[in-house]
Amino acid sequence: RNISYPSSNWRSSKFLLIVVGSVCFMLILYQYVAPGVINFGSPHGYFTEEDEGDIFPTPDPHYVKKYYFPVRDLERTIDFQIKGEDVIVFLHIQKTGGTTFGRHLVQNVRLEVPCDCRPGQKKCTCYRPNRKETWLFSRFSTGWSCGLHADWTELTNCVPGVLNKKENKQKNQRKFYYITLLRDPVSRYLSEWRHVQRGATWKTSLHMCDGRTPTPEELPSCYEGSDWSGCTLQQFMDCPYNLANNRQVRMLADLSLVGCYNMSTVPEKKRAQLLLESAKKNLRDMAFFGLTEYQRKTQFLFERTFRLRFIRPFMQYNSTRAAGVDLDNVQRIEELNELDMELYDYAKDLFQQRYQYTRQQERRQHRQGSVSTLEYGEGEREDRLPTEDYMNQIINRW
């Protein structure tokens, strides 16, 4: 009986087809799990400044400014010394997209020595390139070291001492650069209500102010029992002690100015005005703040402020402002968050003006042919390719 066997050429072709198919599959999978690390449109294999024209939106030439800000409030370029004593402090306000942004800080910044994020661990180790000291104070690097969702009053009084204790050193020469995110107050309020409705609480927050925590009389609870799960929007709005009301103003203001949580210290109207003006000042003086509704602009301003670059571009997930909520309730939320509404209006205008100013300055420098290179960490040039060791760390992490 004659039996024909496949030729060696056919077997070689089949093997080659399997290899090519496997490589293509791995490349597609790699781009899916780590978008932006490799960019086939770029000759360098990752995002470069030439690619950014498609990433960052063009400033609106018809934008009408609401507030006057001097150049010193618009100019934000910091010579961040990651090998020195500089520390970025992230003030994380609930339901502003801070968790996503916090992960960007520990997993998505191109650094000489990336943060060490290990599977199953809630915190990453973010050491300076030249020694084992942290350059980032945030939930995902140092944990809630100053209390759960610590506010401006708590952080400014707590961070220096905590770092001294962690590093077993007394250092007075550190520079702290505070950053935060803000969100449309109605969207943020509804997001917090839905989060609480599912059983979330922040009852372990310290609310430390002037060396002590508030008494139960100063800060009563809105519910009895372990949580407020199942609460309706009406119940959530009806509680006069609900910390969701004007949360962004309260967390950015210096509460010492109004006697902390003691409502009898300052008349109500004066208290509100003092808190709002304090929040505006602290926000204006921060090294950087972003807006949840403008992810790409937030990315752009952070990169230009600190001269640090992100590996993957930020993604914008648009959602309806008040989906499924009737107009009467929306108006009630706006009333309950009157201070936050005014702060957000102020912040949005400052944010848009900063973006417009920074883009204009960058274009002017391009025309003059004197664009300074953005640094990746300290001492690395923009046209420098990622090292093999760096890329291996990224690949292994994914």
DSSP 211-251: TBPPPTTTS--SSSSS--TT--HHHHHH-TT-TTTTHHHHH
Q: How far apart are the first and last CA of the chain?
A: 55
* Both structure tokens of 164: 């001294």
* Both structure tokens of 4: 């024909």
DSSP 153-182: HHHHHHHHHHHHHHHT---S--EEEEEEEE
Catalytic residue among 44, 62, 104, 149: 149
* Both structure tokens of 383: 């046209």
Collapsing DSSP to helix, strand or coil, 193 comes out as helix
Collapsing DSSP to helix, strand or coil, 21 comes out as helix
Over the Cα atoms of the chain, what is R_g?
Answer: 25
Alpha-carbon distance of 96 to 291, in angstroms, equals 8
Q: Which residue matches tokens 């800080």?
A: 105
Could you tell me which of 88, 167, 91, 99 has the C-alpha nearest to residue 131? 167
The answer to whether residues 343 and 248 touch, using CB atoms and an 8 Å cutoff, is yes
Torsion of CA 373, 378, 379, 382, to 10 degrees: -30
Alpha-carbon distance of 39 to 45, in angstroms, equals 5
* Active-site annotation holds for 195: no
The answer to whether residues 102 and 172 touch, using CB atoms and an 8 Å cutoff, is no
- Catalytic positions, please? 149
